[in-house]
Structure 1
Amino acid sequence: MTSAQAELWDVSRLRFEEAPPPALTTGQRTAMDRRWAAAVRANPTLFDGPVAALTGLGRDDAGGLSVSWTRLTYRYRFLREIPDAPSVSGLFVAVLQPDGDGRLLVGRMSPTTSAPGRWQPPGGTLEPPVAGAVLDLDVLRRHAARELAEETGSDTPADALVPGPVVRDTRGGVGFLFTAPPRPARELRERYAESASAETASGANPEFDRVELVGSRPELRSLQGTVASYLELVAGRFFGA
């Protein structure tokens, strides 16, 4: 389930349906485990935590989006490298955090993350709800608020996040966007600095090793390093291009 280019969709209705995990052959599971072990040797901070993974997607002419998902762990991302293995893509949330001048906050992923050096909005891979619970917009919103707080120090409550478009990145991952209320630029920078310092002092590594406020697509392109494949498309919409 891959896409040649990122896409941005306006969605009027979301529907989620939980599906069973994909069936793997012994060879596919062994190959996946070997790739995961190699990744951990290269980056020992990687954690095989729970994720909600995309298994199917359907759109209708009325703007509805149906999402089939399943409970997996991070190692299943390596299935995309194994020929003839079941197709599994990621689900994620992202928060557009503007400052008072209409600029967007973006962060650079630290070297200990799975995407070192990549610029992206605050957010992250979607974790599944507790067993027996449904996945819905409220779960997405709460997860987005938690990611925003963890990565930037901003304490925006979940119910203040406004749902926005849905994106599909170039690897087939699907992301749910939310917009946070504007905050002064100085406050955003100070909250990030305080949060990052506290994490470092506790022996943890902040997910963002740097943040910037960008006010246009050219400013986004000028950042040193890679940029999330969907971010320029989102920025174009946000800045009115």
Structure 2
Amino acid sequence: MTRAGRVELLDAPRIRLVETAVPELSLAHRSAMDRRWEEAVRANPALFDGPVAALTGLERDGRDGLVLRWARATYRYRALRGVPDAPKCSSLFVSVAQPSDDGRLVVGRMAASTSAPGRWQLPGGTVEPPDEGAELDVDGLRRHAARELSEEIGSGMPAEALTLWLTTRGAGGGVGVMFLAPPCPGRELRERYARLVTTETGEGREPEFDRIELIRPPAGLDELVGPRVDYLEPVLRHYADASA
């Protein structure tokens, strides 16, 4: 485990996911959560209270493993993070490091209609729970990561091509499970993204990324204008060190 600023990088080749019950809330905590969620929706009407797999705990499993405890919740539970003494219910997400054949990585800028407008990050997104009664495992996370890669940059990368790479934990408790994709020619990555944008806008939808860049880590971070997700700099530095 290493710390980079406020983000922990957890090098754990084994991950076990365990479903738990959603945290019980007092009337006061539920009211505060609902009020904060309604304020967030008024500020960004594009937000929706869809299902999520919320992180309820993280612990070590021997020297090389992690146990991620999760519960079936909805997006409004994220509002608990600002409620004093409320039960912990953090975000669980997947991300993909997609390199080009010359060693650069794809980063995308979140569109205005998303929950984090203008923010630069790796392709990825919040984990959704499986069907009721089904288990969530690493293969499920891998499939979700491949779907996010397709939806955000137009990649046709199959899930089985993604390798479990790294886990991050932010200062707010949010955990990201990261996968590494095989290298792809930079020109092909840009062309696929351009086709995705044409398709999405032609059908009246706004792409999740309004722009992508291929940057050489970590120096290319200076080329990004605007906010960045907290894990981006330490993860890109880790990638550069591992590739050296």
Same fold (TM over 0.5): yes
Q: Distance in 2 between matches of 1:163 and 1:60?
A: 16
**TM-score under structure 2 normalisation?**
0.94
Q: Distance in 1 between matches of 2:99 and 2:13?
A: 23
Counterpart of 1:44 in structure 2 is 45
> Aligned-pair RMSD on alpha carbons?
1.4
Superposed, which structure 2 residues align to 1:7-156 within 5 Å? Answer: 7-156=8-157
1:10 Cα deviation after fit? 1.0
Q: Distance in 1 between matches of 2:207 and 2:194?
A: 10
Counterpart of 1:230 in structure 2: which amino acid? Y
Q: Is the 8 A contact 1:170 1:230 kept in 2?
A: no
Deviates more, 1:83-92 or 1:57-66: 57-66
Alignment of 1:170 with 2:155, yes or no, is: no
Runs of 4+ off more than 6 Å = none
1:165 Cα deviation after fit? 1.1
Name structure 2 gaps, 5 residues minimum: none
Query: Do the aligned partners of residues 92 and 19 (structure 1) sit closer, same or farther apart at CA in structure 2, a change above 3 Å counting?
Result: same
Aligned to 1:239, what secondary structure does the other structure show?
helix
Q: Is the 8 A contact 1:4 1:170 kept in 2?
A: no
Aligned to 1:45, what secondary structure does the other structure show?
coil
| Identity across matched positions, percent | 58
Name structure 1 gaps, 5 residues minimum: none
1:32 Cα deviation after fit? 1.1
Q: Distance in 2 between matches of 1:186 and 1:12?
A: 32
Aligned to 1:213, what secondary structure does the other structure show?
strand
Alignment of 1:215 with 2:213, yes or no, is: no
Give the number of aligned pairs.
239
Superposed, which structure 2 residues align to 1:185-204 within 5 Å? Answer: 185-204=186-205
Q: Distance in 1 between matches of 2:85 and 2:61?
A: 29
Q: Distance in 2 between matches of 1:119 and 1:45?
A: 19
Deviates more, 1:189-198 or 1:95-104: 189-198
Deviates more, 1:79-88 or 1:147-156: 79-88
